[in-house]
Amino acid sequence: MSLNLLGLNREQFQSWCAERGEKPFRARQMMRWMHQSGVNDFALMSDVSRDFREQLSACAVIEAPTVLKDTTAPDGTRKWLFDVGTGNAIEAVYIPEGDADDEPAAEGAPATRRYRGTLCVSSQAGCALECSFCSTGRQGFNRNLTVAEIVGQLWHASRSLSAATGMERPITNVVMMGMGEPLANFDNVVSAMQLMLDDHAYGISRRRLTLSTSGIVPAMDRLRDACPVALAVSLHAPNDALRDELVPINRKYPIKELMAACVRYIEKAPRDFVTFEYVLLAGINDSVAQARELVQTVKSVSCKINLIPFNPFPGSGYERSAAPAIAAFRDVLHQAGLTTTVRKTRGDTIDAACGQLAGQVRDKTRRVQRRLEESRT
């Protein structure tokens, strides 16, 4: 069986090349061909020896998951449905902001850049955490994605967008915020992020690579030590009683433990704050009193709050908070001195907005079947 080279980080690639009598620089050369130039044909790697290219053709491939569907919304949001085998398909979403004619500014340069291209990447086929307001969680869970399947989403998106726009780097930011809980697939996600950060691959800075988690506390500590990137935490409730219902992992790692883990994480993080994501559900978690409670809940953590208007999906049982309720909630946080933004809904016309990703999942947890049975009793 041929090895998919998209799944190798630099250290692994160098070791693999060394086993074949090649120097470490060969791995770096090939990484640039694959990840920066989007090349998947060994014959085009002109500075690699002919003998080694022939060896590669016999034992390796450069292969992203097959695209089943490619959809673009009127606002420019683009979603790919990728086949990951055995009846499973996962989704990745590209969100452009600003004028694509403006080249991205260098890291640390003055904030004059208007263009930003963000790719939301999936880490699992489905999700086992079953957050009640998330379409992915309703689909059940099948398996973790491999490193090649995770990186393959970025590889394909970069290649497609470069061809369509002529931009050398159409993707400036990556968020591990697609289908799945990234920290439940820790080793593969960290290996994939190492490739995203590598200057011989995608060269994304740690400040522009974000991992979003529902709050698996031990894995947050591991991430801090292994590969600290920008951190977003799906909070969604100001107290344990409500969060137990909305985000069931809270029953194992309650808010007090989660806040302590966030404080520890900031010690090594590339940013001096954590982003708390808070989906606003009408009549559930959007009252002024709950906003005041949230202020007290996060007071120990240097943070920013990202308020997310709920994006409906069939059978969710929730409704989006009204605009006045969102504004009143935001104002309480602002008045308390918390930096707070309300996320602009993007891609909802193609079910690409936050919480709407579903793909296709052959559910090993029998979650969908269980719900069907319960509805009949």
Enzyme catalytic residues: 91, 354
Residue bearing tokens 């977003």: 232
Contact 9, 191 (CB under 8 A): yes
Q: How far, in Å, are 39, 209, 237 from residue 177 at the CA level? A: 26, 11, 19
Q: Where are the alpha helices (DSSP H) in the chain?
A: 10-18, 24-31, 50-59, 135-138, 147-165, 186-197, 217-226, 240-246, 255-266, 288-297, 323-335, 367-376
Three-point CA angle 214, 330, 275, nearest 5°: 30
Structure tokens at 122: 């999936």
Rg (CA), the chain: 21
Contact 126, 180 (CB under 8 A): yes
Q: Please give the Cα distance from 322 to 175 (Å, whole number).
A: 27
The single-letter code of the amino acid at 21 is: G
Nearest Cα neighbor of 42 from 29, 56, 63 is 56
Q: Please give the Cα distance from 250 to 257 (Å, whole number).
A: 9
Q: Please give the Cα distance from 274 to 265 (Å, whole number).
A: 8
Q: Where are the alpha helices (DSSP H) in 227-254?
A: 240-246
Q: Please give the Cα distance from 265 to 252 (Å, whole number).
A: 19
Nearest Cα neighbor of 61 from 86, 26, 34, 23 is 34
Q: Could you give the 3-state DSSP secondary structure of residue 249? A: helix
Q: Please give the Cα distance from 180 to 137 (Å, whole number).
A: 8
Widest distance between CA atoms in the chain: 70
Contact 284, 312 (CB under 8 A): no
